[in-house]
Amino acid sequence: MKPANSILSSFGTTIFETMSRLAQAHGAINLGQGFPEGLEPADVVAKAAEATLSGPNQYPSMMGVPDLRRAIAAHDRRFYGLDLDPMAEVMVTSGATEALAACLFGLIEPGDEVVLIEPLYDSYLPIILRAGGIPKLVRLAPPHWELPRDALAAAFSERTKLIVLNSPMNPAGKVWDADELAFLAGLLERFDAYAVCDEVYEHLVYDHRRHIPLITLPGMRGRCLKIGSAGKIFSLTGWKVGWVIAAPALLQPVAKAHQYLTFTTPPNLQTAVAHGLGKDDAYYAGLTAMLAARRDRLAAGLERVGFRVLDTGGSYFISADFRPLGFPGGDEDFCRHITEKAGVAAIPVSAFYQGRDVAHFARFCFAKTEAAIDEAVMRLARHFG
Ligand code: PMP
Ligand code: GLN
Query: Domain of 330: which CATH number?
Result: 3.90.1150.10
Residue 204: CB atoms within 10 Å: 25
Indicate whether residue 231 lines ligand 1 (CB < 6 A): yes
100 and 118, same structural domain?
yes
pTM value > 0.85: yes
Query: Are 36 and 114 found together in one domain?
Result: no
* Domain assignment present for 380: yes
Domain identity same for 105 and 230: yes
Å from CA of 16 to ligand 2 middle: 6
Do 139 and 79 sit in the same domain of this protein? yes
**Domains in the chain: how many in total?**
2
Question: In terms of domains, do 252 and 362 share one?
Answer: no
* Within a domain: 208: yes
The answer to the question of residue 51 being in a domain is no
Ligand nearest to the CA of 231: 1
Is 211 a domain residue? yes
| 356 lies in the same domain as 226 | no
Q: What is the span of the domain harbouring residue 366?
A: 8-40+282-384
pLDDT tens, the chain, 385 aa long: 999 999 999 999 999 999 999 999 999 999 999 999 999 999 999 999 999 999 999 999 999 999 999 999 999 999 999 999 999 999 999 999 999 999 999 999 999 999 999 999 999 999 999 999 999 999 999 999 999 999 999 999 999 999 999 999 999 999 999 999 999 999 999 999 999 999 999 999 999 899 999 999 999 999 999 999 999 999 999 999 999 999 999 999 999 999 999 999 999 999 999 999 999 999 999 999 999 999 999 999 999 999 999 999 999 999 999 999 999 999 999 999 999 999 999 999 999 999 877 899 999 999 999 999 999 999 999 999 8
Same domain membership, residue 120 and residue 148 = yes
Q: Are residues 258 and 336 in the same domain?
A: no
Single residue among 279, 296, 320 that ends a domain in this structure: 279
Cβ atoms within 10 Å, residue 73: 20
Residue of 17, 19, 31, 33 best suited for mutating to test ligand 2, as the one with most atoms within 8 Å of CB = 33
CB-based contact 244:86 (threshold 8 Å): no
Are 288 and 247 in the same domain? no
- Same domain, yes or no: 153 and 24: no
Cβ burial of 200 (10 Å; 0-12, 13-18, 19+) is buried
Residue 304 lies in a domain: yes
Strand partners, 194: 162
Q: Is the CB of residue 119 below 6 angstroms from any atom belonging to ligand 1?
A: no
Local structure of residue 352 (DSSP, 8 states): G
- Amino acid in position 97: T
* Torsion on CA atoms 198, 203, 207, 211, rounded to nearest 10: 50
Ligand nearest to the CA of 100: 1
- Measured by CA distance, the residue closest to atom 5 of ligand 1 is 170
